[in-house]
Amino acid sequence: MPSASTATPDRAENERVAELLAGLNPPQREAVTHGQGPLLILAGAGTGKTRVLTHRLAYLVYTGRAGIGEILAITFTNKAAQEMRERVELLLGRRTRGMWLMTFHSACARMLRADAERLGYSRQFSIYDQADARRLVKRCADELGVDPKRFTPASVQSQISDAKNRLRDAAAYRGLVESYFEQTVADVFELYERELLRSNALDFDDLLVRAVNLLELFPEVRDRYRSAFRHVLVDEYQDTNYAQYRWLQLLVGGGRGGDAQGGREEGQRNLAVVGDDSQSIYSFRSADIRNILDFEDDFPDAKVVKLEQNYRSTQTILSAANAVIRNNRSQKPKSLWTELGEGDPVKVRAFDDEHAEARFVVGEIERLVEEGVSRAELAVFYRTNAQSRVLEDTLVRREIAYQVVGGTKFYERAEIRDAVAYLQLIANPQDAVSFTRIANTPRRGIGQTSLSRVLAHAGSVGISVWEAACTPDTIPGLGTAAIKALCRFGETLARLKQKADEGVPVGDLLDATLHETGYLDMLEAERTIEAQGRSENLHEFIEVAREFDATADPGEAGLDAFLQQIALLSDADSRSDDEGLVTLMTLHNAKGLEYPIVFIIGCEDGVFPHSRALDEGGLEEERRLCYVGITRAMRDLYLTYARARSLFGARTYGVPSRFLFELPDELTDREEAPSARARSEPVPSWAHAAGSPPVGPSAVSYRLGDDVVHAAFGDGVVTGVEPGGIVVVRFASDGSERKLMAEYAPISPR
Ligand code: ATP
Ligand code: MG
């Protein structure tokens, strides 16, 4: 703590503070040195919001405005918290162990540890992670006789989680029930809550809910924290949900609807939040963009600081980001500028398919590394995890070290390893490890005990697990249900093995395996975003096998050769990484990060923006995701798309992403020559939907108001005609507007 007792520390302090503020522009400095009361920094990407928070933390401590233990600082991830702590310690030149610098979940858990007894838990309460919670939901649903095929535990769990994020308890949820599904969820919800309490356990969402309860029910606890935390700071505020909002409000006083306990002392309201409404990308996890947009209404006396200078990107990249986000209606206008110069145009590249796209990206990476760029300066972003696979294969082949952030490398993912285990077992019935891995995945009533009996029996009699499993009635100690389950499983395996022996292509074998074992049905029934992602990965894996079938030498074909290739691919990453790693990640994971050179691949309508988002009216959120992606780039940005792509198990012909059309020509360098295929065949290369007949004769011209029909999107009406043969069509099915190439898209007059 600085002291005023001698002149020297004073001067040292002043110098230190001056130094701290030197690396900031005037509005940043204003935010860092802001005194009492609410503070909002609503600013675009790369304007130094996170930097301001970090400096403000250091400033508060350094000037004695707050002690280390009197600050609560919230980040979106643990990694971000750790980075911020390192920076603050660097700025302060001292450790900050007592500072509450963490995620919402960690802060709430810490509060609850101290006061759990007030809510009827003991201090030793358990925290159930997602998997634990799902198992409990399942148990409750079973107990209530809910049909797990109709309403999967995962879908029930996601409803419960969403309710909790909105601070609705089981009774409140029941009050809003509108369908049979919700009725069922309400029943499970009630039992689930009773069971959690009985087990002295909290799920992730409960951490927030219970912390809010604690602060609402016990004024003395609330007052304690209010006076303990003289300053509260929050990064990425645009992605907070209602429970988080309420928790903050209770800690600082004031906020929407005023203080629920009216008449009580207001709290210090030293809440500083930073965020960017253009980067709100988590509404699917109940994040509520209103939390940032309404901040000024909640706190009318809030000091609002706007940051407009971007320190990350070239003007071209910024203008590109602005051009895209401008198409969103609900957007606070912002104008970003930079001193980093015009920079190179955004490179837009088109390819015949995803392999050509991957070859290009990896080729550019090789070229850049040759020129002296470090691999660590390069990042490739994509919309869905499954898209990384083709790229990973190409990187592995060219021996370029890479990492997949926030995700697992393709061949290490659980569902892929399950699929490989099935194939391995079919190839090698002796394989007890593979058998153990998949015997009860999906669940088919072969529990741990039965499984160990099968293994023990096979061991003692000296037969393969497969043989043992196929003759379950000879295994001592098995119940009738288990015997039945094993018989059924054995039959399925035998059928698949026969296919393999007949030499069906590996792609077909894998396809049949995933269908006939019920694996894909299991994922389908979950109806969650995660399960859908896993299913997409598996279809991608079928695609790997089909490629293998199509390209392998006759001598090297077949299941064994395929498995060997996979084994080598998944083992290929123990290379040295002293020149850094190329980073691969989804656009969602890229939030808050920056890289000199960025590639965004798969810029096709349906891929990005994602078709699911389009169906569910999430176009504006997809556009914000695009804004996040573009603004990660410091120097160079590549946007690529493939005219045809095999993804999620189907071959589709892509329309370039509507986001590409939103980029003005003067910012881009486009190389989109028609593909070799388009020149030599009459079939339109951009036509959507595999197998659609060649339509849209090139002579047809459209006028505003024309009724048209599209092979994939159905009926629509022309709402715009643009130069270059582009028509804008609004589709009746989902109200979406799409830009299409009149000549190539599968549309015709109606
Ligand atoms: P995002 O919206 O992407 O989270 P942000 O607004 O949090 O971005 P930062 O990550 O804090 O922005 O800053 C972007 C980059 O600009 C960082 O490399 C940061 O160090 C640098 N930067 C910010 N302000 C300044 C400044 N005044 N002088 C020099 N560099 C700065
Ligand atoms: Mg940031």
Q: Whose CA is nearest to atom 9 of ligand 1?
A: 48
Confidence of residue 616 (pLDDT cuts 50, 70, 90): confident
Q: Which of 122-136, 589-603, 605-619 has the lowest average pLDDT?
A: 122-136
Q: Give the pLDDT score at 572.
A: 42
Confidence of residue 699 (pLDDT cuts 50, 70, 90): very low
CA distances from 339 to 35, 172, 635, 664, 690 (A): 30, 53, 12, 21, 47
CB-based burial label for 11 (10 Å; 0-12, 13-18, 19+): exposed
d(CA 455, CA 449): 10
Q: Whose CA is nearest to atom 13 of ligand 1?
A: 48
d(CA 107, CA 114): 11
Mark whether 739 is an active-site residue. no
Neighbours of 406 (CB within 10 A): 13
Helix runs in 289-385, H state only: 290-293, 295-298, 315-325, 354-370
Query: Pairing mode, if any, of strands 595-600 and 378-382?
Result: parallel
Give me the sign of the Cα torsion angle 126, 132, 135, 137.
positive
> Residue holding tokens 């002293």?
578
Q: Give the pLDDT score at 734.
A: 67
Q: Which ligand sits nearest to residue 45's alpha carbon?
A: 1
**Which residues are CB-contacts of 131 (< 8 A; sequence separation ≥ 6)?**
none
| SS3 (DSSP) at 348 | strand
Q: Give the pLDDT score at 111.
A: 92
d(CA 539, CA 533): 10
Pocket of ligand 1 (CB under 6 A): 23-25, 28, 45-51, 276, 279, 311-312, 592, 594
Mark whether 49 is an active-site residue. yes
CA 351 to chain centre: 26
Confidence of residue 537 (pLDDT cuts 50, 70, 90): confident
Whether 317 and 661 have beta carbons less than 8 Å apart is answered as no
Whether 330 and 612 have beta carbons less than 8 Å apart is answered as no
Highest mean pLDDT among 323-327, 470-474, 475-479: 323-327
Q: How do residues 346-373 score in pLDDT, each as one tens digit?
A: 999 999 999 999 999 999 999 999 999 9
Q: Which ligand sits nearest to residue 281's alpha carbon?
A: 1
Can you name the residues that pair with 188 across neighbouring β-strands? Answer: none
Tokens in use for 703?
A: 């006028």
| Structural domains of the chain sorted by starting position, each given as residue range(s) with its CATH number in brackets | 24-111+209-307 (3.40.50.300), 126-199 (1.10.10.160), 312-401+577-683 (3.40.50.300), 412-565 (1.10.486.10), 693-750 (2.30.30)
- Ligand 2 center–CA 243 separation, angstroms: 22
Of the residues 193, 206, 235, 706, only one is catalytic, namely 235
The torsion angle over the Cα atoms of residues 527, 530, 531 and 532, rounded to 10 degrees, is 80
- Ligand 2 center–CA 594 separation, angstroms: 10
Q: How do residues 394-432 score in pLDDT, each as one tens digit?
A: 998 898 988 887 666 787 788 998 999 999 899 888 777
Q: Give the pLDDT score at 573.
A: 40
Confidence of residue 492 (pLDDT cuts 50, 70, 90): very high
Of the residues 50, 96, 316, 384, only one is catalytic, namely 50
Q: Is pLDDT above 80 for 564?
A: no
More confident residue, 14 or 307: 307
Q: Which ligand sits nearest to residue 27's alpha carbon?
A: 1
Q: Is pLDDT above 60 for 577?
A: no
Which residues are near ligand 2, the ion (C-beta closer than 5 Å)? 49-50, 592
Q: Give the pLDDT score at 570.
A: 56
More confident residue, 311 or 266: 311
CA distances from 385 to 44, 397, 449, 537, 642 (A): 27, 20, 35, 8, 17
The beta-strand segments (E) located in 405-523 are none
d(CA 251, CA 231): 10
d(CA 698, CA 583): 42
Q: Which of 5-19, 99-113, 263-277, 326-340 has the lowest average pLDDT?
A: 5-19
The torsion angle over the Cα atoms of residues 704, 706, 710 and 716, rounded to 10 degrees, is 80
Kind and range of the H or E run holding 427: helix 414-427
Mean pLDDT, the chain, whole residue set: 85
Mark whether 256 is an active-site residue. no
Q: Is pLDDT above 80 for 452?
A: yes
Whether 285 and 591 have beta carbons less than 8 Å apart is answered as no
CA 234 to chain centre: 21
| SS3 (DSSP) at 737 | strand
Give pTM, 2 decimals.
Answer: 0.72
What average pLDDT does this structure show over 216-235? 95
Q: Which among 537, 532, 527 has a CA at the least distance from the CA of 408?
A: 537
d(CA 539, CA 389): 11
